[in-house]
Structure 1
């Protein structure tokens, strides 16, 4: 009963934690955490190298903890099923041992002396001796089975308690990584005031599901190198996971200009783990408006909808950033131009 109550409380905590990253609608207000340090000068991607390093570390840490939490939750479910089976066996075996004890109490155990005294012939004695051996063997087997089943139940309960501890640990890690990302954004906001124009709504109309990128057997994301030729005009290389995200977006109808690899700058572009998707038909221009802005809204919503399938680290669009831990936040460390403000393209960073 204690395990079930503890599990229920943990499930509620898990749901509350994971719900933070569900919303696909950006918020207009910047993060409110008090900044503690200033970040370095911004680069051509907007924000700063230090900011993006913090966002990468925080989002990766959050996704790793989320995967570990999901593994632990699945293991807990398996152990609960196993425990129910073992407890049923324990009840049956306890009943059998109880029956043996009851018979022995009522009739007395068959021993060598009673077998000898109640035998009228040597053959009768041998028959009774064989019966004695059979009874003893059966009693011994039932008792050993009972002890084995009891030990198995105790081990299963201990493993369940370990999973509960593991889940508490991962929930704590997720909360800390969320705070790390939001603190970094708060520092960037203090370094440079937020732009006066609000972020674009990402309530897109695309509902297609992307083909999931491969994961490790335990559900974690495998480490990938920049090993696939970048099919965009940027040339260079990208990771297999980034290539999958690019192809899935294009298959969903987002076929406007894209640029992925970039040898200079900070963040994921030089690592082959980022792409910039132009909102306008003819490439990167001024601030996206009208149908172009709707295109960007829908594309950002597509990546957020499929974030868990694709391995999305974060999305930046129209002075807003979407984090798997926190949803939409103000991204106000940019330079005031359409490229660094991300008002002319959707930036996708991959795990």
Structure 2
């Protein structure tokens, strides 16, 4: 192939190579935009219920899924755009073949040689016009193919980034929904709580007597009980103070003489739903108070040294989770905590 023909074919070959690469494995994508926060709005001071959190996560998951579907449709449009670019390039191939064949028959087909073949001024002008027109046509077609190729490449890179973002968002929503479901199971499930429980609780300070391996040293009743004239363990007093620090300040009683359980050992407290005395929960306020108090104890069980919690006909142990409970009291009027 002659040097002039090679020079003319160089941009065409470059376009062919670019389109071949584009049609193959995807090129490295552009940096994707940062993933938006799932909530999409500022946090307020109102506590969010676990059911609200689950609903929010699922709404965002559904939105992410919808955005993924839109991305897939845009990818189909992109494929059509790439095909149009390839068709434009295909339209150039017969002309390239024609020039190559003419070069094979006549030798060099440079612009000067083409013009010198004219034997009259009119012929010279016609050949010059034809050459100029050919160059313009080829340049225009190559420009269109290059532009289409660039559009397709940029669009695909952008879509690849968008799809990755949406996939990460969908995965994050699925994980958050699962975490919310696990948290709801931790506090007894939606049927047990009626969904009336905060999505998160304050973090309690670690109680006294915790060992480096996570165990708890035995304690005696050496601390004054702030709810009675009796004595309780330092760990029970610490847990009592932490519960109140978390905002649960309704009536409570800890030490109680007699019986085989933890009250006479100074290792238990009963948290009423009322400001004075005990009465079963009868509205959303009292039910949510008990739910949230139980949730606080369970979520901080490892920090407070919780042995078990009883609330609303259910008992919770760290090793087993929630189980049905039936005893002398059904514990619908208070939350019971026992300490190790």
Say whether the fold is shared (TM-score over 0.5): no
TM-score of the aligned structures, taking structure 1 as reference length: 0.42
TM-score of the aligned structures, taking structure 2 as reference length: 0.43
Larger relative CO (CA 8 A, sep 6+): 1 or 2? 1
The structure number with the bigger radius of gyration is 2
